[in-house]
Amino acid sequence: MKEHYFPLDNIRVLELGTLIAGPFAGRLLGDFGAEVIKIEPPDKQDPMRLWGQQKDGQGLQWPIQSRNKKSITLNLRESEGQGIFKQLVEKADVIIENFRPGTMEKWGLSYEVLSAINPGIIMVRTSGFGQTGPYKERAGFGSVGEAMGGLRYVTGFADRPPSRIGISIGDSLAAIFATLGCLTAIYERTRSGKGQVVDTAIYESVFSVMESIIPDYLLVDYVRERMGNVLPGIAPSNIYLTKDGTYIVIGANADGVFKRLCEAMNRPELAEDERYKSHQTRGVNLEELDKIIEQWTKTLSAEESLAILAEKGVPSGLIYSAKEMIQDPQFQAREMIVNVEHDTFGEFPMPGVVPKLSRTPGGIRFPGSTKVGQHNEEVYGSLLNLTKAQLDQLNSKGIV
């Protein structure tokens, strides 16, 4: 194995969160080698263990979300459990939590308390609305963050109510920003020697990717509305029906690419037509341009049209479900579906590591734990030198 194959293998993470936003950040750090210790209450497992489709009584999202993580139990509601957590903090670099703000403080585990124990500790805090402001104590799931961050308002078709995207995108965006903040804090610590709080709000993570909706409104009084499969002023960029009843995606909104699309359709004159020759005019005449393009795609099968578009260098593709993904050679070449040996399921397919690093690519060392507290003896024994007898006693008291 290459030297420094896992670039974060000197980083130890204590993950306290549940469901998606916090644990997804832990997964990303674990993919690149961080030792992630997943902490669950002894009497209440992470609901993600049972979320989504199930096989043999286990949720199929769990092995992905908890991959590369060790599982321990600890009751943070009890003073003895809080004391043990403080001992773990002494030996850690990062804490990830996504409880409602004030929960850690209620347990006597505020950043001020923990940083006094370990000045280099970085606390990654993800919540619906952040650690400050009038809404900080509100419960805030990803769906609420997507709504208040502006994403739900522009998602769907104009004649229907706001829709959701088919995944928990708000939580995932928050996790990605939280990971960015965590890595930034780790880098800064190399200069200052000090940790800090990374405060990530779900609604802000969504809002951060909402492009120019605020200046559009404040400067030109324009409110972006739901437009289905198109973006306002961006054309052509839509789905188009083919002869065999399949929809394909074509994105040709840049001037040069649009010229190549016109050549592919044997309509080179469209590139010089005043209605379509510039980005601005194509945006104004979006609907009629889409009709022209679909008239062409309907004369060809999806395979035929995509072959022509690929030859001309026009971005295009099928709309994939899982079935198409597992058959696609690009997914295979980039190792985007990786089979990992699982205790219950055997070969378990999961998404590969993103992004691709040329020298220190990281990887999936093991899937998520099948049992809550599976690594209690390993972690408590190696980090805190607790014996099996001591763990048994803590277990009998409901601490681990």
User: Active site residue: 93, 171, 199, 290, which one?
Assistant: 171
Output the CA torsion 114→115→118→123 (10° steps). 80
**CA 29 – CA 11 distance, rounded (Å):** 9
**CA 229 – CA 226 distance, rounded (Å):** 9
DSSP, residue by residue, 248-286: EEEE--SHHHHHHHHHHTT-GGGGG-TTTSSHHHHHHTH
Counted residue by residue, the chain has a size of 400
Cα 10 to its chain centre, rounded Å, is 23
3-state secondary structure of 349: strand
Sign (positive/negative) of CA torsion 384, 392, 94, 365? Answer: positive
DSSP, residue by residue, 136-177: TTS---HHHHHHHTTTGGGSS-TTS-----SS-HHHHHHHHH
Of residues 63, 28, 18, the one with CA closest to residue 177:
28
**CA 62 – CA 368 distance, rounded (Å):** 6
The conformational region for residue 353 under phi > 0 = left, psi -120 to 50 = alpha, else beta, is beta
Distances (CA, A) of 67 to 19, 97, 141, 203: 14, 17, 23, 26
171 is catalytic: yes
Residue 21: both structure tokens together: 């936003």
Instruction: Check whether the bond before 63 is cis (ω within 30° of 0).
Output: no
**CA 296 – CA 294 distance, rounded (Å):** 5
Residue 331: both structure tokens together: 């997914």
Inter-axis angle of helices 302-311 and 255-264, nearest 10: 130
Look at the block and give the residue holding tokens 């809002």.
207
Give the residue numbers marked as catalytic.
171
